[in-house]
Amino acid sequence: MNATEHDACFATWTRDHRAILVHVVQAFAEGADRHDLMQEILLALWRAIPGFRGGSRPSTYVYRVAHSTALTWRRREATHRRRSADAIDADWMMSPDDGRARSDTPARLHALFAALRDLQPVDRSIMLMALDGASYHEISEVHGLSESHVGVRLTRARQQLTRILNPSPASDHAS
């Protein structure tokens, strides 16, 4: 692949799969870290283009690169990141349509992304892909799991999200 083809592929993938990239960033990072993670993912995607052999759809490949990068970034950041809470801007969210900050994002969407951040990283990635409409097959390809294992993990993640988003007084006493 020559440089022009590489550039065209990158431009097409980032345009066509912007929502995937934004959703991964929102699920794995908060505040100012979102910009850093997006840059990491874009760089990883740029580097990964020559490795695409067409064995899967480009969206599956973009998911794989984005989620792998986010998981690696999250582990690396967790070991040395201790920033002050006031450096985090919890209301910042990117629109998948145009990339501008949105102040009109519904509170439930903020709550969903916050709840997603409470999941284990792999479960967060699997749930995010499911919310984006990926099939069990696509999710299994990205994560190297069987489709039935994806179903099990999704069921458990949904249950955990339900508990986080709809805490009941009875569940507080049962724990």
Residue 24 and residue 18 in contact, taking contact as beta carbons nearer than 8 Å:
no
Q: What is the mean pLDDT of the chain?
A: 81
3-state secondary structure (DSSP) of residue 101: strand
Q: Distance between CA atoms of 61 and 74, rounded to whole angstroms?
A: 20
Q: Tell me, what's the pLDDT at 164? A: 86
pLDDT tens digits for 80-131?
A: 444 433 333 333 344 444 444 455 457 778 888 888 889 998 999 999 888 8
Q: What is the mean pLDDT of residues 35-51?
A: 95
Q: Tell me, what's the pLDDT at 86? A: 32
Domain limits, the chain: 3-174
pLDDT tens digits for 3-23?
A: 999 999 999 999 999 999 999
Residue 9's DSSP bridge partners are none
